[in-house]
Amino acid sequence: MSGQTFVGQSVKRLEDPDLLRGHGQFLDDLKLPGLLEAAFVRSPLAHARFTSIDTRDAQDMPGVVAIFTAKDLPKVMQGKRILLQVPNPAITNPVTQEPLASEEVCFVGEAVAVVVADTRHAAEDAAERVIVDWEPLPANGHCEQALKPGAGVVHADMQDNVAARFSLGYGDIDKAFKNASHVLHERYEPHRGTGHPMECRGVAAIYDTFAEAFRIWSSTQTPHNTQRGVVDMFDMPEDKIRVITPDVGGGFGPKNQVYPEEMVIPAVAQLLSRPVKWVEDRREHFMTTTQERDQVWELSAASDKCGVILGLKGTLIHDTGAYLPWGTIMPYISAATVPGPYRLGAYKLDITVAFTNMVPTTPLRGAGRPQAVFVMERMCDLIARELGIDAAEVRRRNFIPADSMPYEMGLTYRDGAPIIYDSGDYPEAQAQAMTRAGYDTFSERQREALANNRYIGIGIGNYVEGTGLGPFEGATIRILTNGRVAIYTGATPAGQSHRTTLAQICADQLGVDMSNIDVVVGDTGMMPRGAGTYASRITVNAGSSVQNASIELHGKLLKLAAAKFDVTEDDLKCIGGFVRIKGAQGDSISFSDLAKMTSGTPGYVLPKGITPDLEASAYFTPPQATYSNGSHVAEVGVDPETGLVTILNYTVVHDCGNVINPMLVDGQVQGGVAHGIGNALLERMIYDKDGNPLTTTFADYMMPRADMIPNCNIVHMESPSPLNPLGVKGAGEGGTIPAPAAIIAAVEDALRPFDIRITEFPISPQRIVALIAEAAQEKNGEQSNDAKQ
Amino acid sequence: MSEGQHTHTVTLTVNGDVHTAEVEDRFSLADFLRKKLGLTGTHLGCEHGVCGACTVLVEGEAVRGCLMLAVQADGQEVTTIEGLADIGGNLNTLQQAFMDNHSLQCGFCTPGILTTLTAFLQDTPDADEISIRKALSGNICRCTGYDTIVRAALSAAATLRAGQS
A198, A255, A538, A709: best to mutate for the B interface, most B CBs within 10 A: A198
Residue A473: closest CA among A412, A547, A421: A547
Considering only CB atoms, B41 lies closest to which of A23, A675, A711, namely A23
Q: Which residues pair with A456 in a beta bridge?
A: A637
Contacts of A1 (CB under 8 A, 6+ apart): A508, A509, A511, A554
Interchain CB distance below 8 Å, A703 and B142: yes
Is residue B1 situated within a structural domain? Answer: no
Which among A582, A598, A620 is the end of a domain? A620
Q: Are A725 and A439 in contact (CB under 8 A)?
A: no
B147 to chain A: which residues are within 8 Å by CB? 670, 709, 711-712
Which residues on chain B are in Cβ contact (under 8 Å) with A698?
A: 46, 48, 50-51, 140
Contact A495 B24 (CB under 8 A): no
- Residues A524, A492, single domain; the answer is yes
Domain assignment present for residue A381? The answer is no
Residue of chain B minimizing CA distance to A500: B105
Angle subtended by helix axes A329-337 and A369-387, to nearest 10: 30
Strands in A708-776 per DSSP E:
713-717, 760-761
Distance from CA of B142 to the nearest CA of A (A): 6
Whether residue B100 is found in the same domain as residue B76: no
| Residue A563 contacts residue A569 (beta carbons within 8 Å) | no
Q: How far apart are CA A69 and CA A72, in angstroms?
A: 5
- Cβ of A22 within 8 Å of Cβ of B80? The answer is yes
Which chain B residues are closer than 8 Å to A19 by Cβ? 104, 107, 110
Do A570 and A694 sit in the same domain of this protein? no
Report yes or no on A733 lying in a domain: yes
A12 contacts B100? CB cut-off 8 A: yes
Q: Which chain A residue has its CA at the smallest distance from B52's CA?
A: A198
A760 neighbors A188 (Cβ within 8 angstroms): yes
Residue A118, domain member (yes or no): no
Query: Rounded to a whole number, what is the distance in Å from the CA of A708 to chain B's nearest CA?
Result: 8
| Nearest-neighbour CA in chain A from B86: distance (Å) | 10
Domain identity same for A507 and A591: yes
Of B42, B63, B83, which one is at a domain's C-terminal end?
A: B83
Q: How many domains does chain A have?
A: 2
Are A570 and A432 members of one domain?
A: no
Mutual orientation of helices A391-398 and A426-437 as an angle, nearest 10°? 160
Most B CBs within 10 Å, among A9, A12, A13, A19, to test the B interface: A19
Strands A36-42 and A276-279, how do they pair? parallel
B15 touching A, CB under 8 A? Answer: no
Q: Do the domain assignments include residue B144?
A: yes
Inter-chain CB proximity A21 and B99 less than 8 Å: no
Rounded distance, CA A126 to CA A59, Å? 7
CB contact under 8 A, B98 and A121: no
Q: Is residue A387 part of a domain?
A: no
Closest-approach residue (CA) in chain B for A30: B40
- Does residue B62 share a domain with residue B26? yes
- Could you tell me if A700 and A763 lie in one domain? yes
Residue of B nearest to A670 (CA): B145
* B42 near A CB under 8 A: yes
Report yes or no on B42 lying in a domain. yes
Query: Residues A452, A486: one domain?
Result: no
pLDDT at A599: 85
Asked if A674 lies within 8 A of B45 by C-beta distance, the reply is no
- Is residue B128 less than 8 Å (CB to CB) from chain A? no
Nearest CA in chain B to A194: B142
Of A380, A358, A493, A675, which Cα lies nearest the Cα of A14? A493
Distance CA(A122)–CA(A349), nearest Å, equals 52
Domain co-membership, A520 together with A476:
yes
Residue B71 domain flag = yes
Q: Which of A465, A463, A437, A451 lies closest to A746 in space, CA to CA?
A: A437
Q: Is there a contact between B102 and A663 if contact means CB atoms under 8 Å apart?
A: yes
User: Domain end: B30, B51, B83, which one?
Assistant: B83
Tell whether the torsion through CA atoms of A21, A27, A32 and A35 is positive or negative: negative
Residues B11 and B78 in one domain: yes
pLDDT higher than 90, residue B165? no
Confidence of residue B163 (pLDDT cuts 50, 70, 90): confident
The β-bridge relationship of strands B7-14 and B77-79 is parallel
CB A85 within 8 A of CB A258: yes
- Has residue A654 been placed in a domain? yes
On whether both B15 and B71 belong to a single domain, the answer is: yes
β pairing state of A182-190 and A295-303: antiparallel
| Domain CATH number, residue B14 | 3.10.20.30
- Give a yes or no: residue A113 inside a domain: no
**Nearest CA-CA partner of B125 in B165, B84, B160:** B160
- Residue finishing a domain among A620, A652, A682: A620
pLDDT at A531: 85
Nearest-CA distance A754 → chain B (Å): 32
Interface residue B160 vs chain A (CB under 8 A) = no
pLDDT at A787: 65
Which chain B residues contact residue A675 at CB under 8 A?
142, 145
Q: Is residue A505 part of a domain?
A: yes
Select the residue of B89, B102, B109 nearest A198 (Cβ to Cβ): B109
Q: B114 and B53 in one domain?
A: no
Same domain, B29 and B71: yes
Q: Which of B65, B83, B101 is a domain's end point? A: B83
Distances from the Cα of A180 to the Cα of A260, A298, A303, A394, A530, angstroms: 51, 18, 5, 16, 49
Phi first, then psi: give them for residue B51, nearest 5 degrees: -80, -25
CA A107 to chain centroid, in Å, comes to 23
Rounded Cα distance, A116 and A111, in Å: 14
- Cα–Cα distance, B50 to A79 (Å, whole number): 41
Which of B38, B106, B114 is opposite residue A197, by nearest beta carbon? B106
Kindly identify which residue of chain B lies nearest to residue A711, measuring between CA atoms.
Answer: B147
Element (H, E) at B149: helix B147-164
Say whether both B76 and B44 belong to one domain: yes
The whole-angstrom distance between A117's CA and the closest CA on chain B is 10
Domain that holds residue A594: 470-620
A466 bridge partner residues: A627
Q: Which candidate from B3, B50, B132 shows the least CB-CB separation from A699? A: B50
Subunit contact A22:B98, Cβ cutoff 8 A: no
The answer on A661 and A537 residing in a single domain is: no
The beta-strand segments (E) located in A94-161 are 104-105, 111-117, 131-132, 135-136
| B79, B12: one domain | yes
Residues 6 or more apart whose Cβ sits within 8 Å of residue A486? A477, A478, A480, A517, A518, A519, A520
User: What pLDDT does residue A285 have?
Assistant: 98
Cβ separation B142–A21 shorter than 8 A:
no
Tell me: do B156 and B113 sit in the same domain. yes
Question: How far, in Å, CA of A535 to CA of A529, rounded?
Answer: 18
Q: Does B79 touch chain A (CB under 8 A)?
A: no
Q: Are residues A587 and A663 in the same domain?
A: no
State the residue range of the domain holding B13. Answer: 7-83
Do B20 and B70 sit in the same domain of this protein? yes
Q: Most A CBs within 10 Å: which of B43, B57, B108, as the mutation test of the A interface? A: B108
Cα nearest neighbour of A709 on chain B? B145
Residue A178: how many other CB atoms lie within 10 Å: 11
Exposure string over A713-750, b if 16+ CB within 10 A, otherwise e: ebbbbebbbebbebbbbbbbbbbbbbbbbbbbbbbbbb
Question: A511 with A553, same domain?
Answer: yes
Of A20, A26, A670, the CB nearest to B144: A670
Is the CB of B99 less than 8 angstroms away from the CB of A13? Answer: yes
Position A38 in a domain: no
ipTM tops 0.90: yes
Chain A residues touching residue B104 (CB < 8 angstroms): 16, 19-20
pLDDT at A782: 77
- Dist. CA A616–CA A556, nearest whole Å: 9
Last residue within a domain, chosen from A588, A620, A652: A620
In three-state form (DSSP H/G/I as H, E/B as E, the rest C), the secondary structure along A428-468 is HHHHHHHHHHCHHHHHHHHHHHHHCCCEEEEEEEEEEEEEC
| Spans of chain A below 70 pLDDT | 1-4, 786-789
Q: What is the CATH number of the domain that holds A746?
A: 3.30.365.10
Cα A15 vs. chain centroid, distance in angstroms?
A: 21
CATH number at residue B100: 1.10.150.120
Shared domain check, A630 and A519: no
Contact B44 A250 (CB under 8 A): no
- Nearest CA to CA, how far is B85 from chain A (Å)? 7
Same domain, A633 and A730: yes
Alpha-carbon distance of A324 to A327, in angstroms, equals: 5
| B88 found inside a domain | no
Output the pLDDT for position A87: 82
Contacts of B53 in chain A (CB under 8 A): 198
**Three-class DSSP category at A587:** coil
In a domain, B2, yes or no: no
What's the structural domain count of chain B?
2
Per-residue pLDDT tens for A91-129?
A: 888 899 999 999 999 999 999 999 999 999 999 999 999
Residue B98 inside a domain? The answer is yes
